[in-house]
Chains A and B, each alone.
Chain A
Amino acid sequence: MGDEPQHEVTQILHEWSGGDPNAPERLMPLVYDEMRRLARSFLARERGVHTLQPTALVNEAYLRLVDQTRVNWQNRAHFYGIAASMMRRVLIDHARAHAAGKRGGGAIRLSIDDVQVSLEERAASFVALDEALERLARFDERKCKVVEMRFFGGLSDEEIAEVLGITTRTVLRDWKKARLWLYRELSQSGRVDR
């Protein structure tokens, strides 16, 4: 990887701060590619290791894609938000490939955290979570972002607070309420989705 994407990403971040509304759209494919490559290579090495810190991926992407000498905290916050969001998209895209056979087949269990269940079921629950998040975002986008950054991006509460410009206390409360909502949503998903 040469300097070009780094230059480009840094430039887009500047334009974003300057008020360009199309900046996130242009940033996404670049970050998506990077997150996908990073996830693949890390996972290839870390097969089955559950101590993995996802935040390392976001940090790594940041170091690789952004010229740190040319950005401020706001650019950094934007980047972290996008990176977590792209991480989510990468994982869900891969989950979708495995979950195809399980779609619409009765109630989806809350098997996200359960490594005992089959790959297909776990993949399906990831897809279900993603869809629930989409619904959540329709009326509370900030909570969706908090989940994205914490669960998919692995960011700390303090980092999330900084990215979203809210207090850590608010992040914690959002996290709690979002989880309550998502849990209820997923445990009922068979019904609600119909």
Chain B
Amino acid sequence: MRSNDWQKVEELLDAALDLAPDARARFLDELSATKPDLRREVESLLVCEEKVDGFLATPALALSSDFFEDAEAVEERAGQTVGHYRIIREIGRGGMGAVFLAERSDGEFQQEVALKVVRRSFADSELARRFRRERQILASLNHPNIARLLDGGVSTDGEPYFAMEHVEGVRIDDYCAAENLRTEERLKLFLAVSRGVAYAHQHLVVHRDIKPSNILVTADGTPKLLDFGIAKLLDDEGTNEHTRTELRAFTPVYASPEQARGERVTTASDVYSLGVLLQHMLGNGHRSETPGQQTSVANVPTDQEQGSKRNRHRQRFLSAELANIIAMARREEPARRYASVAQFAEDVQNYLDGLPTRAQKDSFTYRAGKFIRRNRLTVGAAALVALALVVGLAVALWQANAARRERDRAERRFNDVRQLSNALLSDIAPKIERLPGSTDARQAVLTQSLKYLDSLANEAAGDLQLQSELASAYEKVGDLQGNPTNPNLIALADALASYEKANAMRRNLLERNPRDFERRRMMANNYRALGDIRWQTNEPAESLNNSQAALGLYSELLAEHPGSTDLRLSVARTTLDIGKVHSTNEKYAEAISFFQKVVAMLGEQLGLADVESLLLLAEARKQLGNSLSWEGKQKEAEEEMARAVALSEALFAANPFDNRMLTALHQTYMLTSSVYEDVNDTLSNEYAFKALKIIEATVAKDPANIRARQQLGKTYSRLGVTLDNTGKPDQSVLYLEKAVNISRELIGAETKNRRLKYDLATSYIRLGDARKRQRNFRDSITDLERAASVLKELTDADASDNASLRNLANAIESQAKSYEGLAALATGAEKSAQRQMAKQSYQRAYDILQQLEAKNALSKVDRKSMEKLRVILEKYE
């Protein structure tokens, strides 16, 4: 046909198409009269009109995918080299590409690997960089249930590849079916898989594509997860966010609803996929009901059940409890699923052990309602303000959740964490931190916040900005949990965990850029806080390591920026920390040198308005005084204490509503009382009562403040000493019993806190001493026995804890004296038996001091005690 002929046909066709059917027939009839050829042409086209509806309606690409697949399958790749590997043969083919058995081509050593070659061509330099970065993280996953990633990169042809440990095994579902495993065996197999996933989650790696074909069971029955973290790596690639969301790949049945919708993928998504896996494993373990092909988002089943008739049949016999466990893992909303894989696994284990499971009905509103009701009852009026802020935060997060769908994923993640940490750092925390009576509100903020942070942390691998923000948020949470320099909940183990999470992220950040000022500074801050917390939990060796790491960094930074007041303050503070550790470790001479450094540094250039520096100076002076006193330099000690008292009182007078000033003043009075002990007992007793007055007022204001209660206990204990020393043993015993009660109560709430236990032991020793003066020797021995047993526990757990070891010697020596008291009251065989007990105890005390001597950890006071003991033991001979 020529163009001008077609033009005529087209004109007539246009005209006819606009006509109704009967008018069209007339039109054609008229045409046949004049131009029969054209009529035939036009009519033959018009008759196609009713058939042409679906013709070419589907885009070509959607109809031709298999053209490509088969074309690729034809390609022979054996013998080809990818990276350092030579392909031996193909062993599998999946959505992402092909998997080959390969060996190292550089011949350095014989190693067969599973080489996954990803079929795509987005390999740009950014991708190559990300691969290098991510593979370090992935390669660090070392767990018996995870196939180890050995290598990865982008080949010269631009194909991303991964070399993984080659696992010879069968798919987990085929294994279950072939071995005809019983339910318990399937559950145990599943638990092993969970351990691998939980381990990876602890290392901030989410699998994202857990399904039977990614889990192989080896000949010895060990399940191994393949492809850990790789899905995320590939999903994150590319620059066009829009395209990425549209063309996402996933395995629909196993993908969580949020994953299917292209939303944020977190550990909760793995929980979901594990839930589907468990259901499938408990079904019949046949792969038939696992759809091999991928379907569109709209078809993705969410909470509904999957499976063949046989599968359903079998499931009918599953206990309701297992069904509940699976349902909880597969909840539509991530927040309502198990909070972690570990929790999920725990419930499966509980089921196996016949224990009650966690899987039970709950909902956001239910929990929120309960949360508010519970808190309204216990929180004071001031804290209600704080609570309103918490609810505000929850609403903000809720709204962020709703807006989430519209926004770009990467941006969204940042917004989430920013919203949270900003609210936490700049809004809520400062408002309630210094607010007396706010303990419960703070606890509530923390619980909410941590939940959110943990879910974000799973996204942070490879995302440096996010890691840095998360580290700050974790540290803030850690401060609220237990950083001793701030008011806190003394959940020290939790604080340590939060700071350790931040520490891992900060070390990773610093490694990438070791000279970065801010990263070094943040790293130092982190180490300093860790050292501080560990001093608080009485882990001197670790504490010292952390503080020294901090001091090293701070000093380096100060040398580079000698004018920085902040850095100078940080160096001073960390130096003080190290002094305190030495002091706790009874290394007073070293402690004194560190404290003197601090005083010298701060004394140089202080303005009176500089509250932070003054607070630090007061602390350094009283610590210096205390150590001087232990070293026998009493006069210098008293001078330092006098300066510390004057400074602390002035600070408190100037800032009466700042809890830190109250705390500092209390501690100054306590230490002063201690320094005057045995030297001027009347003065010592007076200071103890000053301390009591302050701490009683603090506790009255905020009865839930654990830290204040701890200090109250210590104050009672101190009064026990000073009252005893001033000749009032009956009053002394009363206070010491109060002290013991508080300690035991606090330990009940925090069983791992070494410092609380140390305090308890100290109170028991003092109680034993006081009862001895009441001539109640039997009870005295019992109390001292209790002290010894607590201290033994502490020294067994941490050999570097010299303070506890020394107190153990004191407790046993004191016990010896009580046995002597009993001996004095007895006669005959009884008398010699008690004397024998006394002698044995003296010997034990002496032996312990010898241990300290061997560790070069004897103070002057200890040496005197040792000398006395030697004389006593000689008398017994």
Residues of A within 8 A of B (CB): 1-2, 37-54, 56-57, 59-60, 63, 87-88, 91, 94-95, 97-98, 110, 112-113, 115, 119, 122-123, 126, 139-140, 147, 150-152, 154, 173, 176-177, 179-184, 187
Contacts and interface: CB of A to CB of B under 8 A. Distances in A.
Contacts of A59: 240, 243
Contacts of A119: 66-67, 70
B56 A91 contact: no
B60 A54 contact: yes
A51 B59 CA distance: 9
Contacts of A113: 54-58, 63
A56 B68 contact: no
Contacts of B240: 59-60, 63
Interface string B99-135: 0000000000000000000011111110000000000
Contacts of B124: 1-2
B61 A51 contact: no
B416 to A, nearest CB: 27
B402 interface: no
A40 B68 contact: yes
6 closest cross-chain pairs (CB), A and B: A41-B120, A37-B121, A44-B119, A94-B67, A45-B249, A54-B61
B51 A183 contact: yes
B791 to A, nearest CB: 63
Nearest to B14: A173
B44 A44 contact: no
A177 B13 contact: yes
Given A45-B249, A49-B65, 17 more contacts: A1-B158, A41-B119, A44-B95, A46-B247, A46-B249, A49-B294, A50-B296, A53-B246, A54-B60, A60-B240, A113-B57, A119-B66, A152-B61, A173-B14, A177-B45, A179-B52, A184-B44
A177 B297 contact: no
B68 A182 contact: no
B295 interface: yes
Interface in B57-89: 57-72
Interface in B481-531: none
A127 to B, nearest CB: 11
Given A52-B247, A57-B61, A98-B70, A44 B121 contact: no
A183 B48 contact: yes
B239 interface: yes
Contacts of B65: 43, 46-49, 52
Contacts of B63: 112-113, 115, 122, 126
Q: Which of A44, A50, A87, A140 has the most CB of B within 10 A?
A: A44
A130 B278 CA distance: 49
20 contacts: A39-B61, A40-B121, A41-B120, A44-B69, A44-B72, A44-B119, A47-B65, A47-B293, A63-B240, A87-B61, A94-B64, A94-B71, A119-B70, A126-B64, A126-B67, A139-B1, A150-B56, A180-B13, A180-B48, A184-B48
A89 B59 CA distance: 15
Given A60-B240, A63-B239, A140-B3, A91 B64 contact: yes
A54 B246 CA distance: 11
A2 to B, nearest CB: 7
B875 interface: no
B90 to A, nearest CB: 14
B49 interface: yes
Interface residues of B, number: 58
Nearest to B5: A139
B58 to A, nearest CB: 6
A181 B65 CA distance: 26
Given A47-B293, A184-B45, A88 B58 contact: no
B94 to A, nearest CB: 9
B96 interface: yes
B836 to A, nearest CB: 83
Contacts of B361: none
A55 to B, nearest CB: 8
Contacts of A51: 62, 296-297
Contacts of A39: 61, 68
Nearest to A178: B56
A85 to B, nearest CB: 12
A51 B6 CA distance: 36
Interface in B13-47: 13-14, 17, 44-46
B97 interface: yes
Contacts of A152: 59-61
A41 to B, nearest CB: 3
B408 interface: no
Contacts of A57: 61
Contacts of A46: 65, 247, 249, 294
A2 B55 CA distance: 40
Given A173-B14, A183-B52, A184-B44, A56 B64 contact: no
B130 to A, nearest CB: 15
Contacts of A88: 60
Contacts of B54: 113
B13 A47 contact: no
Contacts of B297: 51
Interface string B281-303: 00000000000011111000000
Contacts of B120: 37, 40-41, 44-45
